[in-house]
Amino acid sequence: MPPWDYRFVALSLRRFWRGMLLCAVLVAPAQAALAAERKVLILYSLGSDASSAWQTLLRKGMSAELARQDVTTLPNVFEERFDAVRIGDIAAVAAMEPYLRSKYAGVKFDAIITENYTAARFLSERPDLFPGVPRHYVNHSRLAWAPADGIAYQIEADYALTIGIIPRVAPNVKRVVVIGDSTERIQESVRAVRTAARAHEGKLAFEYWEHQSYDEMYRAVAQLDEGSAIFLLPTYHDRTGERRRPVDTVRKLVSIARVPIFTNWEAIVVPGVVGGYVVSAERIGGAIADILLQRQPDIAGIPGYIFDYGAVQRYHLQNIPPAAQYLNRPQSVLQQYLWQIVAGLTLIVLEGILISALVVSLRSRRQTLCALNEERDQLEARVTQRTLELMVANTKLEQQATTDPLTGIGNRRRMTEQINKELERSRRFKHPLSLLMADIDHFKHVNDIHGHEAGDRTLVMVAHALASGMRSIDMASRFGGEEFVLLMPETEIDVARAAAERLRTDIAALRIQGDNGDEIQLTISIGVSCSDPTGAMDSASSLISRADKALYQAKHQGRDRVICY
């Protein structure tokens, strides 16, 4: 081809790609503007992902459904959370209305979605809040309720199937203990269980534990013998008024119960809980994603059979429905290492071919054999080099997985692992172990008033101040949001209190530059807990829970203080 032909082709290609780039530049803003037209507010009842297992599963299901869609069609989503799990319905609702009115005074929403009872009731009782905006009440937990100002999507729990699965998979069970609490919502479920239990009269004996303390319940569960089973409803408090997360309660029950535990709530199907016919939080999340995309959600398909694989094997359950979903199912060695096995077999075959070729060629060409041997040595050296590189990469990944990317200190996973290790040492050597849970007071105001970059700088400086103010054997981590956890091995609670007061004073002395030029002054609240002297009953979750309760008390008493559990 003559030189001018090449120049012509190159010029044509440049003009073509320049035109394509111009189209992309012109079309992208139009698509972005189209996606930004719709604004949707979602109100969650149970708090953040860190405080609620239900919320974690809900977000997982919603994200999975949205990930399958074209991102250019998604609306702008605004999310707010009532922290009903940790502080109760009344306290969670108290300050929400003026907060929403102030924050979204200039925002015109196209739809509002509520999830669960607290958010649904809050919104339905305030028709003048965001008037004229279509409302969608998802999983509102009120029987036969039809809102006058929106659409209700209630997931009805089929207790005939929920209770009926127990004798089907565990025919040796003759006694079912139903555990709940005295709240209005749980009592509705208890009444539904009583109705479903009538179909099993003469075959199953039902007991209802609704008015016990947590300690009384744990002692009674430990005494249940073979032939019994537990049906657990999501309990939030006992008769003394003590509040606990349902997932913490069920984990304690799993550790002491010798009988199968059934439930109708996916968030408490943790390892060791059988499960059963449950309401799936992940599928509710998928339904919310459908509403965001202006599609009709499949509400009837949300309940289904979900079982923990380990619990099924432990209690030798049978007749599991064919369509049941298994959780925590271990992979076989073949499934887990399939590609490694294939690669190994391939390498073996290739080496066999190579050796055969070498043997054949050895008869006539010794020089070729030497060259192949040298190539093999080089190949082994490269494999060794790649193996070392892989080990280094794995080490870096492990560090990244246990380090908070913003502050550079440990994250929740690393802290939980360290607490378990130090508890083991504490039990072995009879040393005390203290834990501090710190929370930046009014941190949300920092983001709202001074900007998110100032908020990030605040988190980094607080993390540095906390980490640098501790001993070399201590450990600091960012536990989530503006919450930090500090672990102090071999430390009595009085020493930990003094250290907490020093850290509180250090934080109060910080001065941080805001995005708008203002100077930010901070305070923190700290809750302190200490391990049991014998260490017999302590776990990471119990130590954290006590520090969290002390932190909540510090917040309740006015913030900027240290409270010991």
| Number of neighbouring beta carbons within 10 Å of residue 37 | 9
Per-residue pLDDT, 433: 94
Per-residue pLDDT, 452: 86
| Biggest distance spanned by C-alpha atoms of the chain | 97
CA dist 273 and 261 (Å) reads 5
Average of pLDDT values for 432-453? 91
Q: Which two tokens stand for residue 33?
A: 């503007």
- pLDDT over threshold 80, residue 481: yes
CATH 3.20.20.70 fits 412-564, yes or no: no
Q: Are 486 and 474 in contact (CB under 8 A)?
A: yes
Per-residue pLDDT, 336: 66
Q: Are 208 and 263 in contact (CB under 8 A)?
A: no
CATH 3.40.50.2300 fits 36-154, yes or no: yes
Is pLDDT larger for residue 331 or for residue 193?
193
502: Cα within 13 Å, side-chain hemisphere: 13
- pLDDT over threshold 90, residue 235: no
- Each residue of 123-170: pLDDT tens digit? 988 899 999 899 999 987 777 788 888 999 988 888 999 999 999 999
Pick among 3.30.70.260, 3.90.1300.10, 3.40.50.150, 3.40.50.2300: CATH of 159-282+299-330 = 3.40.50.2300
CA dist 336 and 326 (Å) reads 17
Q: Name the least confident of 67-76, 194-203, 442-451.
A: 67-76
Cα 555 to chain center, whole Å? Answer: 24
pTM exceeds 0.85, yes or no: no
- Each residue of 38-76: pLDDT tens digit? 899 999 888 777 767 888 888 888 888 888 876 666 788
CA dist 192 and 209 (Å) reads 15
Per-residue pLDDT, 474: 93
CA dist 372 and 269 (Å) reads 58
Q: Which two tokens stand for residue 163?
A: 């209770």
Q: Are 402 and 478 in contact (CB under 8 A)?
A: no
CA dist 82 and 462 (Å) reads 26
Average pLDDT of the chain, as a whole number: 85
Per-residue pLDDT, 395: 65
Q: Which two tokens stand for residue 542?
A: 């119990």
Average of pLDDT values for 383-402? 76
CA distances from residue 11 to 16, 22, 107, 343, 424 in whole angstroms, order as listed: 9, 17, 50, 46, 72
Q: Name the least confident of 20-29, 128-137, 184-193, 222-231.
A: 20-29
pLDDT band at 492 (very low <50, low <70, confident <90, very high): very high
- Beta bridge partners of residue 435, listed in sequence order: 487, 529
